[in-house]
Amino acid sequence: MHNVALIEIGICCTAILLLVLLQYRISLLQFPEERTFKKILILMLAETILDIVGKLQFPERLSSPDIKYFLVVINAAISQFIPYLWNLFVHYKIYGSAYHFRKYSIPITIPLVMGLLYCITRLYQLQPGHRGEFNIPELWTITNSISIFYIAMASFISFRSAHKNNTKTGWRQQQYLCWIMLIPVVAIIVQIIIQKHEIPIVTPVVILVLLHIHISQQSMLITMDHLTGLNNERRLNSFLRDKTADLTSEQRLFLLTITLDNMRHIRRKFGKRKVEEIVVAFADFLRARMTSDNMFLAHYQKHSFAIVLEKKTWNDVEAFCNMLISTSTTTKLQSLAPWPLTFSINYSEFGKPGVNNVIELLDDTKNNCFKPTTSLYTKGKFEP
């Protein structure tokens, strides 16, 4: 392929990466996986720019085979770092921290270190004025092998985690991480097969995949609560609108609002961080009890959660509420504060008199209490 066409493709890839990077300007407000994804984008941008520079036609006095050789080797080194960071990104997405990654950091990092040492060796062996072939098949064979190794490892981790995940949303997200990077692997294999044609496939494909991941992340963040990882109020309203629009006369839709008690006292005594710890733990408690596809869980307000249930009778809803109350006393929730953690439950049913839209459904929960708030003032040995 002509250099002009290759440079145009590189410029288009650079523009896409710059547009995506504009969304990651304030790194302090990002999760660790977002910061890792930003590093991947920066490395892809550096790789693309180096590739463009290597294909530009400079005057003879400014053009040097040594410089082109150097750019090729540096490009390969960057290409080895990107799948390594993808592996770290997957660990953050699945485990919420890099603990599992650090636990096996030495064996995980060995292939990358070996690849980088090979790149340094190639630079050390550089002969001034060398006018050989710049494809360096051995270098790119090692680079592609390292890339496939790290992508395969990340896909295996995602698949194993998805297999153990009990929630439908979590299963889908981890399956997505498992299969999405197989597209660049296929691109690498195709690139190897048609290498003699010098058609760039891997870089544009990887950039398009990263763009798709970025869009998917942004779409999810719009409807996801950052603290708990649950659906947020926006997603709850959207779900209720869609659900009530398709509801048949045979279906009964119930809404529960569950509010943690005495959070103001906990905040005053232990601070905001303790409140967040309890909210996250309670979110995990509720998430573990979403055992049916006909249930929808959201972090509704600061200390409140909403559960949408599609049940045949009120007795089924009552049994679910009683199950929440009974199991909450036997979980690790009770070890988070010096007094028992309790919650109130309110409810409503769509379609009953005066409840014909989402706003009325949400407002009606205030009028129907299944379990009232438990105040600390009613307990002799617990003081606020």
Residues 160 and 64 in one domain: yes
User: From CA 110, how far away is CA 153, in angstroms rounded?
Assistant: 14
Q: Is residue 249 part of a domain?
A: yes
- Tell me the angle at which helices 32-55 and 202-222 cross, rounded to the nearest 10 degrees: 150
Assign residue 140 the CATH number of its domain: 1.20.1070
Q: Is residue 129 part of a domain?
A: yes
User: From CA 351, how far away is CA 356, in angstroms rounded?
Assistant: 5
Helices and strands: H and E segment counts in the chain: 14, 5
Residues 25 and 100 in one domain: yes
Q: Is residue 49 part of a domain?
A: yes
User: From CA 127, how far away is CA 208, in angstroms rounded?
Assistant: 37
Q: Is residue 384 part of a domain?
A: no
Residues 174 and 254 in one domain: no
> Residue 37 is which amino acid?
F
**How many CB atoms are closer than 10 A to CB 313?**
9
User: From CA 328, how far away is CA 323, in angstroms rounded?
Assistant: 8
For CA atoms 307, 310, 314, 320, give the dihedral sign. negative
- Of the residues 222, 243, 270, which one is the last residue of a structural domain? 222
- Name which of 153, 303, 291 is nearest 227 in CA terms: 303
Residues 258 and 179 in one domain: no
Residues 203 and 237 in one domain: no
Q: Which residues pair with 344 in a beta bridge?
A: 259
CA distances to 261, 344, 355 from 337, rounded to whole Å, are 12, 17, 38
CA distances to 262, 339, 382 from 377, rounded to whole Å, are 10, 12, 8
**How many CB atoms are closer than 10 A to CB 10?**
23
**How many CB atoms are closer than 10 A to CB 293?**
8
Residue 39 belongs to domain spanning: 3-222
pLDDT in tens, 101-160: 777 788 889 999 999 998 888 887 765 555 555 557 788 889 989 999 999 999 998 888
User: From CA 277, how far away is CA 117, in angstroms rounded?
Assistant: 44
> Residue 21 is which amino acid?
L
pLDDT for position 44: 92
User: 170 is written with which tokens?
Assistant: 């979590």
**How many CB atoms are closer than 10 A to CB 184?**
25
Q: Is residue 40 part of a domain?
A: yes
How many domains is the chain partitioned into structurally? Answer: 2
Q: Is residue 91 part of a domain?
A: yes
Residues 112 and 251 in one domain: no
Residues 171 and 274 in one domain: no
Q: Per residue of the chain (384 residues), what is the pLDDT tens digit? A: 566 777 888 888 889 889 888 877 654 446 788 888 989 999 999 989 988 887 776 555 445 667 777 888 888 899 999 999 999 999 888 877 777 777 778 888 999 999 999 888 888 776 555 555 555 778 888 998 999 999 999 999 888 888 876 555 667 778 888 889 889 989 888 888 877 666 778 888 999 999 998 888 777 777 778 778 888 888 888 888 888 887 777 778 899 999 998 888 888 888 888 888 888 889 989 988 887 777 899 998 888 999 998 888 889 889 999 999 888 887 677 777 777 888 999 999 988 888 888 888 888 888 888 988 887 754 444 444
pLDDT for position 166: 58
> Can you give the C-alpha Rg of the chain in angstroms?
27
- Count of alpha carbons within 13 Å of 88, Cβ hemisphere only? 20
User: From CA 129, how far away is CA 136, in angstroms rounded?
Assistant: 16
- Of the residues 196, 222, 248, which one is the last residue of a structural domain? 222
- Of the residues 191, 222, 253, which one is the last residue of a structural domain? 222
pLDDT for position 307: 92
